Every structure is written in structure tokens, then in C-alpha cells.
Structure 1
Amino acid sequence: MTMKFEEKCGDNGSLVGRNQSYPGEKHQPKGKPITNGEAEFYAKQEANGKCSVPRKSLNMYTWQEIQRHNQEADQWLVINRKVYNVSSWADRHPGGRRVLNHYAGEDATDVFRAMHPEPDIVQLYLKPLLIGELAPGEHSQERHKNSQLVKDFQELRRIIESMNMFHANLGFFFLHFAQILMLEMLAWLILYHFGSGWPVTIFISFLLTISQAQSSFLQHDVGHLSIFKKSKWNHVMHKFVMCHLKGLSANWWNYRHFQHHVKPNIYPKDPDIDMGPLFLLGDSQPVKYGKKKIKYINYEKQHLYFYMVGLPLLMPVYFNLQSMQVMYLRRYWVDIAWVSSFYIRYFITFGPYYGIFGTVLLIYLVKFLESPWIAYVTQMSHIPMRMSTEENRDWLSTQVLATCNIEQSFFNDWFTGHLNFQIEHHLFPTMPRHNYHKVAPLVRSLCAKHGLQYVNKPMLRAFGDIVRALKKSAALWVDAYYET
């Protein structure tokens, strides 16, 4: 049953209640959304007490009603007890429509706050989607969730925000960017002075591999919009680092990676764990394949395929081909232009020494060498952890169960791009990585209070756990496949 209420201007003149921020969106004459700068202008207008939006009647909903709207063409979300129908907005969502669909019919308060570095601006674009709010008798989250845990996590976030942990140190990222450019320049200078013999080629390949891996970590930072205060500069920087320095599509990474963040290790919502038919991960997928007598390869030996195929071919084959396919099929012309500049730069820089064919070989040699590095860093914190189908857990539990940390050291921080603090990164994706170690004790304490295991392990053990997890999944497949 739904009930009506009147939407009124708050004390500050905006369409909010006390201590609430209300979404909204303004449009230009032809119906196009306004730019961020214009959105900020209207946000300031509301903050200054101007309220030009007429009163309108909205509904009150129960969780039972909201949870029915969880289909691809019918998606409702709850954010701070407000109910939004995002069905028509999904195709325009910068993070991709699937991210919204993954939370359809659920409370999305914490994930909304976690994934948006400029929530006040984003809320403006939500305003036309507002259809009501939770009825007074309804809990702020679904009843099966631990409301105290949710409150404690939200209080933790407020504490961290008051500590300015979401403010980036531009000097830190400038030095990281300078490191990448220096490695690229050094590789060219060595080639220019010593020629293209095999020893030189091996050495410059080593330098370029470090540059490419560190570029991966830097693009990850700007991809989460955590460096600059204005998202448009993060957008340009992300195109430059991901497309120009690495030769991969920024849009492809966004849509894939954001899904991973909002539902990590949830099958089939996290694309990072859908690695069939080559690898079967977790407990349920191997059993499913085994019972259906599916045997594309001998999965009993999949841990060996990880060494022979997964490590060396993740970057040069899987990611590279998938990026190109997505750019072409979805007509990402801007990304195509940026990625083209990556290859043009390599041909101009190294073409005079290696020729066209030799330069292509150099590019893929570097990607081949980088691949094990990135594969280990990206997989060691997730593959050994819990994988399941949708369980609609709270934000803290969802992230902690699916991620683990690697022990801190100067080398581990550098080698992983601070992704050894995977738990903190997943809980606070827009936090600059140089602050992860500062908030880790607070996160660990909260996990201990609520009985959540905060996993922190040595790096070499984490590498080995990938293989051990693959062996465990393989054994489940064998049992299901051969059972009579």
C-alpha cells in the first residue's frame, strides 16, 4: 500500500529536510543535461535559499513493494530513505546501466556514497527520478541487514571524512606520473645512444614494463575520480593514462571495473569472476559445470593453465582484444582516437629503430612481461576469497568478505600501487591511495566489533592462494563431473 505526502522546501530553501541533501537535475532548452559547472551553479542557488520547484505529491513505499522493481526494464533504488525510479536513466548512467541494475530493488545508500566523489552534483541529476520515500514504519535498510553495523559504518565514513582522508595529495600523484614519464624517456634515450641490439632491447623492455604497470595503477586512481576536485580533469587524465599511455579503452575499463566494485565476487554480477570456459572459480560455478557434464578443458589442471595461459596472456590477449572489441562494437570514437595515439607514439619513437613489425613486437613483448605483474596484483585479493550468488548484504560485509589485504611494506605498496590495501580501497573507492594505511586500523576495529574477518596476509602467500583456490574449485568440478 502506498501513501501520499507533500514535498516541501526545507529550512534552507531547497527541497530537503533537515540534514538531508536532495537530488535534482536542470536541463538546457533542447533537453540535454547541464554540465557540471552549471549543476554546481544550481546547487549553490538551492544552498543560498532559492526554491523555485513547485510542491508535488510523492508516494510512500514498503520494502516489499520496492523489491519487486528489480528487473532490467524496471529498476528502483533507495538512497537515504528516498525511492528513485532509475529505469529511464540507466542507459545514460556514466557507470553503465548494469551497475544500477545490480542494486535494483535494494538500498543503495552506501554504494552511492562510495562510488561518487561529487555526491552533491550527482544528486541534482537524480531529482527527476525521485518517486517517493520509505514509509515511516520501514527500516532504512532491508530487514535482514544488521542496522547497527550499517550505522557504525556510516559513522566511520563521517569520521574519515572529518579527517580529510578523501583529499588527494597532488604532489604524490605528480611524482608517480613523473616516474612513468621518466621511464619512458629513459628507454628512448638508451635506444638512441646504444642502438637496437638484443641487450638494449631487453633492458628498455624492462623499463617500459615498469612504466606500463605503474601506468595501470595511476589510471586506476584517476578512473575512480579521486585525484582532482573536478571530475572533468580526472576524465581527461584517465583518457590520457589509460588510452594514450596504455593503449586500452577507458570506457571499457569503467563499465567493467565499476561492476566489480559494487558487487565483488557476486556471480554473475562481477565480470572479473566470470572467466569460463577457461577457469572455474568459487564453489558454485565448478559444481554447475560438473553437473552439466561441461568439459571445455580439463579443469582438474586449471591451476597449471593459470601459469601457462592466465599469467602471460591476461594483458596482451584477453584485456587487449576485449578492449578493442568493446570500442568497436559500442562506437567509442573518442577512446579509439586516444588509443590510436598510443600506437602512433610507439611507431614514431621506436619505428626508426625496429621498423613497423618490430615495433608491434616490442609493444606486445612489454604487455607480455607486464601481464604476470598485473595478474598477480589484481587476482590475489579476490580469487581466494568468498564467491557467491546475490545475497544482498550490507556494503561493509559485501566488500570485506570478497577482498583481502597484503601486508604493508615500501616494496609492497609500490609493487601493488597500494592495492595491497584492497579492503580499504573497496570500502572507499574514491579515497586517494596514500591514505589507505591511515584508515586501515579504524576499518580493522569495526570488522572486529561485528565479527567480520579482516584478512591480511604476506604477498607470497597471497600469490600461492590463487593456485590453491583454483585447485579447490577444480576438485569440486571433478566430484560433480564424475559422480554417477
Structure 2
Amino acid sequence: MRRRYGHYWARLVGSVVAVLVAVAAVVGVGDSWWQLLLAAGIGVLMTQIAFLGHDAAHRQIFASGRWNDWTSLVLANLLVGLSYGWWQGKHTKHHANPNKRGVDPDIDLPVITFTSAQADERRNRFTAWFMKRQGWFFFPLLLIEGLDLHVTSTRRVLSREPVKRRGIEITFLAIRLLAPLALVFLVMSPLKAVAFLAVELAVFGFYMGASFAPNHKGMPIVPPDVSIDFLSRQVLTSRNVTGGRLMDVAMGGLNLQVEHHLFPSMPSPNLRKVAPTVREYCAKHGVTYTEMSLLRSYGVVIRHLNEVGLGVRDTWTCPLVAQYR
């Protein structure tokens, strides 16, 4: 059970205490519209716990893989309501081949089109209008991302696909998803309860999506028939978000995406320490190291998605293909 980074204990204990305090607050506030403010706060809390579960799943908290697995199960399934097994399989594919067409599940979504090839396949008279403006719809769509994450991960656990510790995952998910429903409908009127759940899910989904979007969206897309060395594959497709320690907390360390992809098991508080070395090494070897402000990265994401929807060829991909094919 030896821990790898001491401050994680405080975050783990704090997460459990915060959840208990949130439950007590819901009961204490009672049948009031003030509950909507509390719902927004719980949405933020769930996202922060999800960040912590992300670190545990990457073996950042404990030296023991077993302890990291169980920590992820408790954080993801029991506290947040997302399947650890579903996330682990999906995220492992992403880390192995970020932004690679046909391989990375993060650029293969049913609503948003991330590549020109996807746009060609999906474009018809019903989707053309939306695709041309999908960049502007991206962030509003994140308001339903929380609901989609719960539904998708639960469906995965209940499917016939292999899931390690399926019984435990189902049990934890059932407790997490059903207990809050019972609580809010017992404490509040039906209208307030529905509004509470809608606000919590909207804030959770938007916060999660807005934290993950700057990492790779709008960065080079790797064609399926192109092989790239590890350093270039991880650095060229990743983007850092500039900012100090406050940004580290707000984005759960995901703002240092280049370093995270190079050293996925490194505790997130240490990523900032190695960033100068990585930046210098990339400059020495001619590998483009991308970092920009959060707002600028959002602008890049919106512009890229609109251009893809309009049928513009990926200007990043062409030099990439010429270099590595």
C-alpha cells in the first residue's frame, strides 16, 4: 500500500468528506430552489473526484497496482458514477495512439466530426448545416456530456463485452446512480429534484469536456497507415495549457498534457517540474512543443471543428504525412 505521493492522501480523504458534506447539505437545505447552487457545486466536486480517479487509473497514487485499481473503482464507480473498466479500455487506446484515425476512440464520436474523412462519410443534406457550424455547437453540447458519460459507461458494464470485476462495478454504479435519485426526490418536490439533477449533470459534463477538449482537439490527425516514433506521436498530437498552479488544480493536471502523455504514471503534481526539460529536449530534436492559453485553445478547437465540417483538408496532417510516411 506504499503511497507514491503524499498529498494524494489528503485529496482522497477530502473527497470522501466532501461527498458526505454535500449529502448533509442537500438534506439540510431541503425543498428549496437554493438547491440549484448546491447542485452546481456538486457537479464541480464530481469532476475533481474524476480527475483524482484518472490519476489512480494511471498508477500515480500507489506503488501497488491493486491499490490503484481499487481506488479507481471507488472514486469512479461509487463516487462519480462512471465505469472504471469502460474508461480504462477507452483511455488505454487513446494513450497508445492519440489522434490516430480509426484507432483513438476520443476522435470517433457519433455527433461531432473530428476529421475530414469522417466529414466525407457523414455529410448529407440533413447533417451538412450542423457540420458547418459544429464548432459553435461543441461547447453547448457538453451540457449533456455528463448524462452521456453515465449512460455509455453503464451500458458497457451491462453488455456482454469483457469487464474485470463486473459484479463490483455494477454494484457500485447501482448505489451511486440510484441513491442520489432517491435522496433528491425524498428531500425535494419532483420539479426541484429534476432541476437539481439537470444542473448537476450539466455542470459535471461541461467541466469535464472543457478540461479534456484543449488536450488534443485541433492538433494533428494521424492517418491509420502512418507510423510515428513515440516521442513525436505523443508530443505532436498534444497541447499544453499555460497557467500556474491554479490552472493545475482547475484542470486536474490535464493542462500539462504533453508531459502526461510522455510519462503517464508520473504523479500529476510533478509534471510541472519536468516540463522545462521536456520543452528543451523537444526544441533540441526539432519536435514541435505546443502550449497556449486556455481561451486561445478553445478558439483553436472551435475553428478546427468548423473547418472540418466545411470540408477543409487538415493543414496539420499534410506535413505530418509527408514527414513520416
TM range (shorter): 0.7 to 0.9
Instruction: Map residues 84-483 of structure 1 onto 2, 5 A cutoff.
Output: 168-170=4-6, 172-199=7-34, 201-276=35-110, 278-289=111-122, 296-298=127-129, 299-309=131-141, 311-317=142-148, 319-330=149-160, 332-347=166-181, 349-354=183-188, 362-390=196-224, 391-476=226-311
Q: Whose RCO is larger (CA < 8 A, sep 6+)? A: 2
- 1:321 to 1:343, Cα distance in 2 relative to 1, 3 A: closer
Does the 8 Å CA contact 1:412/1:420 hold for their aligned counterparts? yes
1:281 counterpart letter in structure 2: F
The TM-score normalised by the length of structure 1 is 0.59
| Alpha-carbon distance, 1:196 to partner | 2.5
TM-score, scaled relative to structure 2: 0.86
**2: CA distance between counterparts of 1:236 and 1:375?**
25
CA RMSD of aligned residues (A): 2.3
| Contact kept? 1:225, 1:430, Cα under 8 Å | yes
Distance 2:221 2:194 in 1: 38
How far residue 369 of structure 1 moved from its aligned partner, in angstroms, is: 1.3
SS in 2 for 1:253: helix
Alpha-carbon distance in 2 for matches of 1:477, 1:294 = 18
1:356-385 alpha-carbon deviations (Å, 9 max, x no partner): 886565344312111111111111111110
Deviations 1:425-480 (A, max 9, x none): 011111110110111111111111111111111111112221111112122269xx
Separation in structure 1 between the aligned mates of residue 29 and residue 81 of structure 2, nearest angstrom:
27
Q: Give, in angstroms, the shift of residue 330 of structure 1.
A: 2.8
Structure 1 CA distance for aligned equivalents of residues 256 and 137 of structure 2: 28
Q: C-alpha displacement at 1:350, in angstroms?
A: 4.0
Number of residues of Structure 1 aligned to a counterpart in Structure 2? 305
Larger Rg: 1
Residues 340 and 355 (structure 1), Cα distance of their counterparts in 2 relative to 1, 3 Å cut: farther
Question: Unaligned 5+ residue runs, structure 1?
Answer: 1-166, 479-484
Gaps of 5+ in 2: 314-325
**CA–CA distance in 1 between the matches of 2:40 and 2:9?**
22
Q: 1:304 to 1:175 in 2, by over 3 A?
A: same
The offset of 1:251, in angstroms, is 0.6
- Kept in 1: contact 2:76–2:84 (CA 8 A): yes
Q: CA deviation at 1:203?
A: 2.3
Percent identity between the two aligned chains = 25
Equivalent in the alignment of 1:66: none
Structure having the higher helix fraction is 2
SS in 2 for 1:268: coil
Q: In the alignment, is the contact (CA less than 8 A) between 1:327 and 1:333 conserved in 2? A: no
